[in-house]
């Protein structure tokens, strides 16, 4: 098992970036590895279970483990058969305005390392205006 932490800073304010996380229907707008989300609620909540759709028709079940709106922090576990990836996301004020977002991924090393490039692209898009 391994842990990897990624960061991205951009001009969008932390409230807007947080809303892009908190409303899963918005995930495909900034995360190219996500084509859709199936969730029984419109906004993230601890304990909620859903499925995330990826390219090529792949769907992966997930559960939201923790959510702290005030701290703009949440975690979830995504399953790929018996394999689990644990992801922790947070949003803070950027050093010169805007925001910084972080992502910590914990799981089997090959999966974590393979997920890093699309995850870095996604969080970099998360903190910037959409084109």
Instruction: Express as a percent the part of the chain with pLDDT over 90.
Output: 93
Confidence (pLDDT) at 4: 97
Could you please report the per-residue DSSP string of the chain?
Answer: -EEEEEEEEESS-HHHHHHHHH-GGGHHHH-TT--EEE-SSSS--TT-EEEEE-GGG-EEEEEEEEEETTTTEEEEEEEETTEEEEEEEEEEE-BTBSEEEEEEEEE-HHHHHHHHHHHHHHHHHHTS---
Domain ranges of the chain: 48-121
Confidence (pLDDT) at 92: 98
**Over the stretch 5-36, which tens digit does the pLDDT of each residue have?**
999 999 999 999 999 999 999 999 999 999 99
Confidence (pLDDT) at 130: 85
**Over the stretch 81-106, which tens digit does the pLDDT of each residue have?**
899 999 999 999 999 899 999 999 99
Confidence (pLDDT) at 32: 93
**pLDDT reading at 123 higher than 80:** yes
pTM, full prediction: 0.94
């Amino acid at each position: 098992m391994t842990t990897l932490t990624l960061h991205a800073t951009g001009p969008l304010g932390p409230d807007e970036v947080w809303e892009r996380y908190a409303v899963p229907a918005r995930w495909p707008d900034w995360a190219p590895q996500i084509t859709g989300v199936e969730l029984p609620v419109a906004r993230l909540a601890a304990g909620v279970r859903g499925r995330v759709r990826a390219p090529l028709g792949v769907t992966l079940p997930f559960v939201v483990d923790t959510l702290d709106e005030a701290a703009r922090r949440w975690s979830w576990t995504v399953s790929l058969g018996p394999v689990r990836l644990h992801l922790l996301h947070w949003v803070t004020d950027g050093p010169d305005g805007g925001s910084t977002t972080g992502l910590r991924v914990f799981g089997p090393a090959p999966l974590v390392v393979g997920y890093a490039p699309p995850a870095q692209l996604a969080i970099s898009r998360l903190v910037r205006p959409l084109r």
